[in-house]
Structure 1
């Protein structure tokens, strides 16, 4: 089946030959994912394959996956779940702000339209800058490397930290990353991007040239300007964007405001 035979999949999308695919727990899982991808492609609803499949495709890192991450726009979230409900699958809206699930027995896949912390939502740019890939017998969109990094920047807690996925994506797919677009995604949280850039430079000192000079200069210039300004009066802890649990005490007991809400004021 060619790309222009699949509804909603432009033939002009760049095509990649996946470096690898994750290993699956069982033949039942492979059958379920194969069926699910085929059904999704047949609906014509725009979607992206992300998560471990995308990491493996861009980096060649192979690890076992317990599920399949399907990204879509918020308006298509209910359409996807309803389609699989009509097919007889059990569906669950785990969190109406970002996550649903489709089950068949013990097998499942996630349907995601935003991040758990509310910093990002899947939009048209994600679809426009996707890639085509052959996956489990179907040709589908896979998340682009720029958006893959963006989707993982805030996953940093004790139970899961995606920093290695980001570093490996920069290492293996740096020539495909749109750094200007990544900076625009993280503009309000540019320090998070600086953390990832410095993390990569420390991990791979011989590969520092994978990060554009202009990007590092821009981020360090922002840091220099910030250091010349006084500290914010309102006590803020953005840590809950990284981990709700690990930084709970800051907001509940120590007087810090989270992303929203009112915190204590520092002494002038």
Structure 2
């Protein structure tokens, strides 16, 4: 297949002022975007690209490195360079916290993973009392200690998300929320059982490059950004009852929203 793809790659334009390695990257990127190279497909070898474009091996390597930095491809030592798989999970922000999921005994992560047809798993969980970060304390309206639930989520065995929930101690202490397993429906179901009927959630989402510890925790490939999402849950009295600080591998999710037109 790669031989056929090589023959379809655009030739270099000697009149262009665009660097040669960027032209090669443009050609390979176009093949990916047009579907000539699909998810998981192996790119032509360095030798094939050197022969096709008539350039030095280092020029080809620079082109491939550019595509890796953009997050389009991944290199596997001793095997080659492959098109990076597309995001497997669509996170429906307007639906994932619907009360019906809690009534079915499903926490939000489980509900969305099942809808995407993947197997969800939590492989790391730490529950402890701690002083919240300044930003979290501001959202909760208190600088006192909170109950923090740190966890890492996997899809089909791959780390894709870390999340820490911060809940005021006067709500969580001595309840099932402080247990490793908060029970069916997760902590939101427990909050409502405790009389904190949830009214709405505020979310802030931004994209950035990962910190070193985030790269390690999510086992990110070079060039992969993260989605940093901070969500605050409010009860019907207007009190912030939980803040969840989430880091997601950007290549593992699509964020979907339904917005009312009026």
TM range (shorter): under 0.3
User: Larger relative CO (CA 8 A, sep 6+): 1 or 2?
Assistant: 2
Higher strand residue share = 2
TM-score between both structures, scaled by the size of structure 1: 0.20
Larger radius of gyration: 2
Higher helix residue share = 1
TM-score between both structures, scaled by the size of structure 2: 0.20
